[in-house]
Amino acid sequence: NPSKSKYHPIKDACWSKGEPVPYLALAKTLDLIEGTSARLKIIEILSNFYRSVMVLTSEDLLPCIYLCLNQLAPAYHSLELGIAETYLMKAIGQCTGRTLAQVKSAVQKCGDMGRVAEQARAAQKTMFAAPKLQIRKVFAALKEIAHMTGQASVNKKINKIQSLYVACRDCEARFLIRSLEGKLRIGLAEQSVLHALALAVATTPPGPNLQLDAAQHMSADKFKALVEQHVAVVRRTYCECPDWAELLHELLRGGVAALASRCSMRVGVPLRPMLAHPTRAVRDVLARFENEEFTCEYKYDGERAQIHVPAAPDDKPDFANAAIFSRNQENNTAKYPDVLSRLPTLLKEGVSSCVLDCEAVAFDAANGKLLPFQVLSSRKRACASAEDVRVPVCVFVFDLLYLNGAPLVGSTLAHRRKLLREHFCTQPGTWQFATSKDCSTIEEVQLFLEEAVKESCEGLMVKMLTGDNSKYDIARRSHNWLKLKKDYLEGVGDTVDAVIIGAYRGKGKRAGVYGGFLVACYDPESEQFQSLCKLGTGFSDEDLQILSDMLKEHIIDSPRNYYNYDSSHSADVWTSAAVVVEVRCADLSLSPAHRAAIARLHPHKGVSLRFPRFVRVREDKAAEQATTAAQVAQLYLAQDQIKNQVKQPDAAH
Ligand code: ATP
């Protein structure tokens, strides 16, 4: 029975109760995972490690989770290591008596700096063994490195890295260096970590009545159902309150049962936003929402802004501690001092705390017109004060998720909207509610869409208005929100957010900058970036200059071993997966030379974009948030010509 494990969390651990967890225990676990391809097995290995940590040294669970995720803190703390590859190679070289050129060439040959570091460390004899590394100390050192800033920080960072590296045993160096590089390369995405943790607490429930192996007393079916339920609770809690410290604290104290009651959304912690499904035609909207009450809202072309206003002790809103978060839970407060300064004009008397889901859109006040996203993207990431702001914005509020101490995510959209309109003010050009219309026929939707486009919007968001399906689906790409973009209707196809993994030098007029790029989708299951197409059109000269400048700091010596591409598309210059671009295409086709969604639709062929055109840089998206392989496969299958092809064999029978 694969869901039950023979692992004993005390006897099979390599450390004893109360001892700090050795870093080697984590490194060995990751090594085991690296040699395993079955996802369920990977989850079992990781969950057994977590069980040992929970039972023996539970305070180390937080650093263990963060190290598995290659993170140092919640996304909204914006804490990053920021170490250039060259510095890492320098550190490896200096500790092992090699030149930078030797390390560079070894990395180029092997394609994995972690392995090179491990081999170099193993080949080196040291006179005195350094103290054994502990997980908590390694994690604290990484955080210290991330906090080092300023001129002299480079040398300090290198020194710190060296002190960790010389103490590495066995496979520790491989994972230490990969952590410092920001990529563990073992196919361990956030979903696997959540799943492993849920399995761990189902098997070894924490809390006052600790049991080492609850599964032994359950039938396989019952245990499976229990694990599924735990996975759902842990995932939902994490999406609502993406703060591992908080989640683990409650989990270890009161078990899974405590999560739902004690660890819910709170002001100050950005929740993962609800996302929408694309629709290709107005008639698809009706097919989904027929006989339901739904509403259409303008889809504004700006940047998502989740605005949090906490309550002060006197139960008045505490504007000084209000915060604005991006779609990816980054803290954007410093970017919008103008929005913060006018927050008091938004809240009516009686509102003490709230969380609002909004879109900030660049606004031309002189002409009262909305401006495209490109204008907003020229706004500085941090402005000292409202006066410092060069690109004014109008904020369109479209949802209310929390009001006066009570989460509203479980209420219907109709109720949330009613409260929004009752408790908040609007002011043209600064605060507005998203323009909406509760439609019921195709004609109405079509007309409203045309109006939205005329008003410089991207299209419509169509949302379920009443009933259970209109609750706010945290973190879900939900079928209860559909996006209807004008582009889909013009027949030019969907846009895809793709990651640049390589670049081709420009020729002729484009000499001196990159003239084309190899772009990829992301497959979270294999953690691969899979090539999607060569992108060489749709750019202005300025776009190419900007992209070439942006890529400068991301150039790497050789392609990563998690890039999946055909050698016929080898780039002139390889880049780390960092820059995401939105790409429009005529359609999607199966391709023997591209690897997007490989093996999902055809055993050897991937999907590629036909006639791809650059639309814009997606600065708000990290590489892992690019369009996924599964989405690419879905987009391919959703094409009319493919749907018809699939239907034909049936018709013949
Ligand atoms: P996704 O977020 O779906 O991966 P994306 O970031 O490319 O894709 P879109 O596909 O353009 O975003 O659509 C969703 C986004 O539209 C939301 O994240 C939000 O920022 C924006 N938006 C604009 N107007 C609205 C609205 N009325 N309701 C909800 N979202 C809106």
Q: How far apart are CA 606 and CA 593, in angstroms?
A: 7
Kindly give the number of the ligand 1 atom that is closest to the alpha carbon of 434: 27
Task: Look up residue 350 and give its DSSP letter.
Answer: T
Ligand 1 centre distance from Cα of residue 400 (Å):
16
Rounded Cα distance, 92 and 589, in Å: 45
Q: Are strands 354-364 and 393-403 parallel, antiparallel or unpaired?
A: antiparallel
Beta-carbon-side half-sphere exposure of residue 428 (alpha carbons within 13 Å):
6
Q: What's the pLDDT at 647? A: 47
Q: Are 257 and 442 in contact (CB under 8 A)?
A: no
Residue type at 638?
A: A
Nearest-angstrom CA–CA distance, 238 and 527: 21
pLDDT tens track for 107-140: 988 888 999 999 999 988 777 778 899 999 999 9
Q: What is the ipTM of this complex?
A: 0.96
So what's the pLDDT on residue 632? 95
User: In testing the pocket of ligand 1, which one of 275, 328, 477, 484 has its CB within 8 Å of the most ligand atoms?
Assistant: 275
501 CA to centre of own chain: 18
Identity of the residue numbered 416: R
Q: Report DSSP letters for 442-479, one per residue.
A: HHHHHHHHHHHHHTT--EEEEEE-SSGGGS--TT-EEE
Q: Which amino acid is at 636?
A: Y
Looking at the CA of residue 276, tell me the nearest atom of ligand 1.
3
Rounded to 10 degrees, the C-alpha dihedral 591/596/597/603 comes to: 40
Using 70 as the pLDDT threshold, list the residues of the chain that sit under it: 1-4, 187, 208, 487-494, 640-641, 643-653
State which ligand 1 atom lies nearest to the alpha carbon of 497.
7
pLDDT in the model for residue 653 = 30
Spell out a b/e string for 134-154, using b for 16 or more CB atoms within 10 Å of the CB, else e. Answer: bbbbbbebbeebbebeeeeee
Ligand 1 centroid to Cα of residue 478, in Å, is: 12
Task: Check pocket membership of 335 for ligand 1, CB cut-off 6 A.
Answer: no
Would the CB of 172 count as within 6 Å of ligand 1? no
- Which pLDDT score is estimated for 443? 84
Q: Chain-centre distance of CA 256, in angstroms? A: 25
Tell me the C-alpha distance between 111 and 150, whole Å.
31
DSSP letters for 599-624: TTSSSS-EEEEES-EEEEE-TT--GG
Q: How far is the CA of 342 from the centre of ligand 1 (A)?
A: 24
Q: Please tell me the total number of residues recorded for the chain in this structure.
A: 653
Where do the H-state alpha helices sit in 37-134?
39-56, 61-69, 85-96, 100-110, 113-122
| One-letter amino acid of 218 | M
> What is the per-residue pLDDT for 561?
82
Cβ 461 under 6 angstroms from ligand 1: yes
Burial 233-257 (b: 16+ CB within 10 A, else e): bbbbbbbbbbbbebbbbbbbebbbe
Measured in angstroms, how far is the CA atom of residue 192 from the centroid of ligand 1?
A: 26
